[in-house]
Amino acid sequence: MRANLRDLFRLAATVCGVAVLVLVSPVRLAWAEAPSSRAVPVHVLALDSDDSEDQADALTGALRSRVRSAPGWSLQETQHALGMLTAALRCPQKPDAPCQQRIGDQLRTDRFVWGVVSKAPGNQVSAEVHLWARGKPDAMTKETYSDNLKDQNDETLRKVAARILDRITGSVTTGTISVHAGDAEGGVWVNGIRKQSLEHGAATFEIAPGTYTVEVRSNGFTPAQQAGVVVTAGQDTSVALKLVAEPIGESGPITGGGHTNVRRIVAWSLIGVGIAGEIVTGIEGARFLSLRSDLDTDRNGIDKSVTDVCAPSTNATQVDACSKFNDAKSARTVAALVGSAGAVAIAAGVILLVTDHSKEGFETSTTTQGRLLVLPYVAPRPSDGAGVNVSLTF
């Protein structure tokens, strides 16, 4: 029963395809540019797909738009789709040479563009596009690009269509490099210059023919590279790189500037010095308060008429008060100087960390942000003590 239903479905599709061909073929076709010795007419059939219909429709529109604007070509407007023609002419989805000949005869044309779009790994699609020209060898190219390109007017998709047509028409002057690096996010460098970002571990870009060194850098992984990558005009060169996770605690070169972890070492060193300075400040502040309290006690045993405790005197209490006054003055000076230097060191370290751009160029980062809190305090009474509160949150 299932086999009979499948046969009936195929028969219905064939009948519908033939009917459409009969109805559409007589219609007069419009030309973007009148065919001449300078403008070669070409059909662009709607690309076929089993699992990426939206992407196929968008690429079809982009290809037709490219042919309209390309010098030397004239788009022969048609609503024919490859799937409809292969069904009507009993051809496979990817028509062989005899079937392509029959399609050309049916369309009454000497050349047409056809192709198939299918899903590819890593949220991408793969387009296989052909140019059939009567009496000439089949011209074919493949292009892999992001599956989010579903608008025929998207500038990125227009560039994809331009590359495809350049290749199949033989007018291409550049090649492409397709990089595959698992599912990593990061960037691709060519001869030490950043070229393009990775999307789900993949990137494809145009480049002039030549020999290159291709490198992939991704946060948390050791950079991987391949030297001697040869690019040929009109051809796609595939580069597969395997990224190895960095050992825990290491942060080798991440960006194009060749940064290492020196910046962070300096930053944390400054913060450590600053914390030590603030601790000294707390200790000296507590000493100052203690000496000042003792000085106030000694003043009670000195004549009220004495305004300068350090004036020459034989009074033992006054001499002791002068000593405590000088010690308190020194403690206050040390606390002020060391405290200021410590605050500057901490601020400089924090600025170095905040302005560290070692992860720029990547869409994601797996580094956990920490927060350092330094709170020096001086107690109102010597008996309460003084110090510095330090808190580091991960």
Domain boundaries, given as residue ranges, for the chain: 12-169, 173-250, 262-393
Cβ atoms 86, 46 nearer than 8 A: no
pLDDT of residue 49: 92
**Which homologous superfamily does the CATH classification assign to the domain defined by 173-250?**
Carboxypeptidase-like, regulatory domain (2.60.40.1120)
pLDDT band at 29 (very low <50, low <70, confident <90, very high): very low
Cβ atoms 237, 175 nearer than 8 A: yes
Cβ atoms 55, 20 nearer than 8 A: no
pLDDT band at 24 (very low <50, low <70, confident <90, very high): very low
Rg (CA), the chain: 39
Please give the Cα distance from 63 to 46 (Å, whole number). 10
Write out the two tokens for 97. Answer: 């040479």
Nearest to 67 by CA among 113, 26, 21, 28: 113
Please give the Cα distance from 32 to 67 (Å, whole number). 9
* pLDDT, greater one: 163 or 307: 163
Q: 167 pLDDT exceeds 90? A: no
Please give the Cα distance from 332 to 292 (Å, whole number). 10
Write out the two tokens for 94. Answer: 């990817």
Average pLDDT on 51-75 reads: 89
User: Is this structure's pTM higher than 0.75?
Assistant: no
β-pair partners for 50? none
Q: 112 pLDDT exceeds 90? A: yes
Average pLDDT on 269-279 reads: 88
Average pLDDT on 237-255 reads: 72
Amino acid at position 330, single letter: S
Q: What own/partner pairs with CB < 8 Å and gap ≥ 24 does 209-213 have?
A: 209/174, 209/175, 209/233, 212/177
* pLDDT, greater one: 246 or 24: 246
β-pair partners for 391? 373
Nearest to 376 by CA among 334, 343, 352: 343
pLDDT tens digits for 32-51? 444 444 678 999 999 999 99
CA distances from 281 to 162, 330, 380 (A): 69, 12, 15
Say which residues have a Cβ less than 8 Å from residue 200's Cβ, sequence separation at least 6. Answer: 122, 123, 124, 183, 185
Whole-number average pLDDT of the chain: 77
Considering the segment(s) 12-169 as one domain, its CATH architecture is 3-Layer(aba) Sandwich (3.40)
The mean-pLDDT minimum among 159-168, 207-216, 355-364 falls in 355-364
pLDDT band at 190 (very low <50, low <70, confident <90, very high): very high
